[in-house]
Each structure stands twice: as C-alpha cells, then as structure tokens.
Amino acid sequence: MSRLSRSLRSSGAALAAACLLALASGGASAQEVNVYSARHYDTDLALYDDFTAQTGIEVNLIEGSADELIERIAAEGRNSPADVLITVDAGRLWRADQANLFQPVRSAVLEARIPAHLRHPDGHWFGLSKRARVIFYDRAEGPPAGLDSYEDLADPGFAGTVCIRSSSNIYNQSLMASIIAAHGEAAAEAWATGVVDHFARGPAGNDRAQIKSVVAGECTVAVANTYYWGQMIASDDATEHGAAARVGILFPNQDGRGAHVNISGGGVIATAPNRDGAIRFLEYLTGPDAQALFAEAANEYPIDPSVPLSGPIAEWGAFKEDTVNASLLGSNNPAAVRIFDRAGWR
C-alpha cells in the first residue's frame, strides 16, 4: 500500500474530502478504489498491496467497526466516497443491506468461484473467506460420548458442561439463525433454553476465552470459531499456544446438514464512484493467490472450494458444511435475538 493509502487509513476526513473533490471535478479516478473495512489483519494489507501491484489501482482504506462503517456510509449518503464495504459475518452484511448500502452486481468470475449459498441471491454481497463455528474439547479426555451435533448440547447428559460466549455476539446470533432455518423458531427456542440450563458458567469473554476454559477445566466443551484456534496455535504467547495445542475439534452435524459456517464478505456500495474497480477488487480477493493467503495467514477457509487448504487449519481436513444460504443468517437475526432473550441467554 502506498504512503497515501496508509495515511488515509487514519484520516477518514481526508479521504472523503479527496473523493468529493474528484466528484466535483468530473468523477472518481479509475485508478483508485475506496475500501471501508471492518477487518483488521495485516494479511489484508498485503493483499491490497498486491492488488495495486497487479492492476495499478490504488487502495484507499478506511477501517472501523462494522456498525461504525455502516452508519458512516449511510450518513455520507449519495456523496459517499466508498466503493466497497468489507465486514465479518453475514449478519452484519445483512444490516448493511437493510440500510440499502449495496447495489446488485453480476460477475461471472464471482459466481463461478463462490458457492451460491455463500453470496447474496441478487449479488448484493459476496463471501470472501469463511470460518466454521465448532465444538472444542480436551484432547486428554477425548471427544465427549454422545456429542455429534449442536442439538446434542441441549441433551440432559451435557448439563453443566458448556462454555459459550454471550448472546449479544453476532457469531452466536448467526448460529442461532442457522438453527432457526433448520428447525423453526419453536424448536430453536427449546434448544436455546436447554443450552442455557447446561452452562458450566455464565457467558463471559471472547472465543479464545471459551477454548482456554476447556483447558482450565471450567467446562467440558466450548463453542468457538475455527480461525481463533488457528491464531492461538500460531501464537508466540506460550499460554495461547499451549491452550490451543491441548484441545481437539469436533465438526458438528456431519451426519446431517453439516457444520455451521459464516463468512467475511463484501459488496459494492450503491453510490460507488468506481463501480468497475470495486468489482475488479472483489474478483481479485476471490482469486487463488488471495484465497491461499486468507488460509495461510488469517486461518480462514477459502471461499472457493477448489483452493486447497493450507496453514494450521489444514490439519483438520475437509468437513461437511451447512449449505443454508448465508442471507438467512441475517434475515433470521431479529428472531434469533428474541429467542436468546426469552431463553435467558445473556
């Protein structure tokens, strides 16, 4: 990334002013694309550098939380300099789409590389990488008998064994949304109530904390995203690495619908000054080199199933994934939140 792009990462006002000046003088430059991103990984910066090297299109980057960026683009309105919004979790992409931030895109490249269930049906957004939400256990104890699915966590045999984070977490909300899609709201609420009754402790901490709680003996099983384990196993921190090395992983529902997966994804903003550059940017991120880097450096699964697994997550091998369309993880989100509230999942 150029010095200009790096400086704009910390100066959103400068980017907005520059792009508004470009609009006033006749349009945005075809040689730059303005990316608003809620992903904060050095991997992504390396990809943006490579995109510029390959295409000559400069990447101007604004970073923030998903909610901040969604609010910002909406507030900027038709004069927004944003070309692309990238964020984590289909639930957040749904929020952006509900705010009418995206425009429909047809791209033979994106449609060939990205399975249909991992992109919006009308091309409003596209998955760029994926992660599975799985069950961790202590390797020394072995996989808990009778635990093969998310649904099993509500069975009486698992009372007092479960560690999982708060219901306010978007990852849990999307998991609940997938259960609603599979079983309906009534069955999903019964499941949530059962899991709450089986908490080993109240929800606390992030996904890494759930994994560490298994190692500390606070719980028998924990629910967390795969890429957190990958980050921990690759960590120079002895505590993090040691905890990750001690846990095993169980991909749920392998005899049924498959393990729940979620995505990082992006879409072209409805008022994008450089629509063609934005599409080209998304196409680049789904190419084989970029997909390999997502896996090797960010411990995420490639969105393109033809790209081989690499990095720490490769040791787990392939798994069967739930193919419910990721858009339902968003549209079912309000129902998921209501169910969590009624079940007492805090």
Give pLDDT, residue 4. 36
pLDDT in tens, 44-66: 999 999 999 999 999 999 999 99
Give pLDDT, residue 8. 47
Give pLDDT, residue 24. 38
Instruction: State the Cα–Cα distance between residues 280 and 206, nearest whole angstrom.
Output: 35
| CB-CB contact of 138 with 215 (8 Å) | yes
Residue 23, pLDDT above cutoff 60: no
Pairing of strands 58-63, 247-250: unpaired
| CB-CB contact of 249 with 229 (8 Å) | yes
pLDDT in tens, 224-248: 999 999 999 989 999 999 999 999 9
| CB-CB contact of 90 with 262 (8 Å) | yes
Q: What's the burial of 206, exposed, middle or buried (CB within 10 Å: 0-12/13-18/19+)?
A: middle
pLDDT band at 313 (very low <50, low <70, confident <90, very high): confident
Higher pLDDT, 6 or 226: 226
Every domain of the chain and the residues it spans: 3-129+263-306, 131-259+321-343
Instruction: State the Cα–Cα distance between residues 109 and 303, nearest whole angstrom.
Output: 13
pLDDT in tens, 122-175: 999 999 999 999 999 999 999 999 999 999 999 999 999 999 999 999 999 999
Region 248-274 average pLDDT: 97
Query: Where would I find the beta strands (DSSP E) of 188-331?
Result: 221-225, 247-250, 261-268, 301-302
CA angle at 241 for the pair 238 and 247, rounded to the nearest 5°: 135
Give pLDDT, residue 83. 98
pLDDT in tens, 71-104: 999 999 999 999 999 999 999 999 999 999 999 9
CATH 3.40.50.720 corresponds to the domain 3-129+263-306: no
Give pLDDT, residue 28. 54
Instruction: State the Cα–Cα distance between residues 242 and 182, nearest whole angstrom.
Output: 36
Are the folds of 3-129+263-306 and 131-259+321-343 the same? Answer: yes
Give pLDDT, residue 3. 32
Homologous superfamily, domain 131-259+321-343: Periplasmic binding protein-like II (3.40.190.10)
* Number of other CB atoms surrounding residue 3 within 10 Å: 7
Give the percent of the chain with pLDDT over 70. 92
